[in-house]
Amino acid sequence: MSRNVQSKLWREIRFVLGRVQKKSRNIRKHGYLRQAANENIWHHIFRESFRTGGWKSELRLNMGRWAAGPAFLYVLHRILEEVQPQHVVELGLGESSKLISKFAEHDSFPTSHVIVEHSQEWIDAFQSRFKLSGATSLLRLPLKGKVKNKTPQQAVAYDQIPKDVWAEADLVLVDGPFGSRRYSRNDVMDYVQLQDPSTSFIILLDDTHRTGEIDTLDLIQDDLSRRDIPYAKGHYGGLKRCTVIASANFPWLASL
């Protein structure tokens, strides 16, 4: 093959590769813009569902980035209003803690709200700005495991959540600890394994657009399916995605 032919061939290859890269960038850009538009829609949906007088009008929630997104808070709000769970366990202290704690303060539910958190610095900073209800208790536990993991046993997790924390929970929120590369936040499996076909349960898992949380979501579904426990599942989100896994008596939670 002559040098001229080789040169022409390489120019054509670089041109094609350039077009492919440009198209790939455009696809990613359009995907991000679509997710951002959905995020704005969820902000509107949440605000409309939350529009009311009384204590709700005074509650200030910071949504997005490291905090819970509007889709997560919207789904949580609907669950609190319509299911009225009595015993809530929350992994990770944050904006959703404010919402649950205010429900406990002003309504008859939940009667118990346990928050598991690892950082004393964050607990102190949070409590300096927000007063939790009497029904809310904070359980500080150290972390174990590593971020760059390969198995569920190696993932970052809270160190030994007591079994009695899970025992009566009818709603579990999973937004902590910070994520692992694989099988992230799989502490919730201790709760899943307590369920059977006769129990009622709701799990709201945040950040299920990420590989680690998708792994854990798969673990939950595999365990329930293996033990013939029927469930409903719904995905919600824009820039961030959250997922509801609920017992079969709550099918409507998959289509909020």
Residue range 151-166: mean pLDDT, rounded: 96
Residue with the larger pLDDT of the pair 95 and 18: 95
For the entire predicted model, the pTM comes to 0.82
Give yes or no for a contact between 238 and 71, defined as CB atoms under 8 angstroms apart. Answer: yes
Average pLDDT on 95-103 reads 94
pLDDT at 27: 43
The amino acid present at 192, given as its one-letter code, is V
Q: Is the pLDDT of residue 140 over 60?
A: yes
| β-sheet bridge partners, residue 90 | 115, 173
| Domain range list for the chain | 47-255
Segment 161-175 shows an average pLDDT of 96
Highest mean pLDDT pick, 17-26, 33-42, 221-230? 221-230
What is residue 169's predicted lDDT score, i.e. its pLDDT? 97
* pLDDT value, residue 108: 83
Q: Are 216 and 185 in contact (CB under 8 A)?
A: yes
The pLDDT of residue 61 is 75
Mean pLDDT of the chain: 86
Domain 47-255 CATH assignment equals 3.40.50.150:
yes
Euclidean distance between CA atoms 31 and 110, whole angstroms: 38
| pLDDT (tens digit per residue) in 183-242 | 999 999 999 999 999 999 999 999 999 999 999 999 999 999 999 999 999 999 877 899
Q: Which residues contact 170 (CB under 8 A, 6 or more apart)?
A: 83, 85, 86, 87, 88, 200, 201, 202
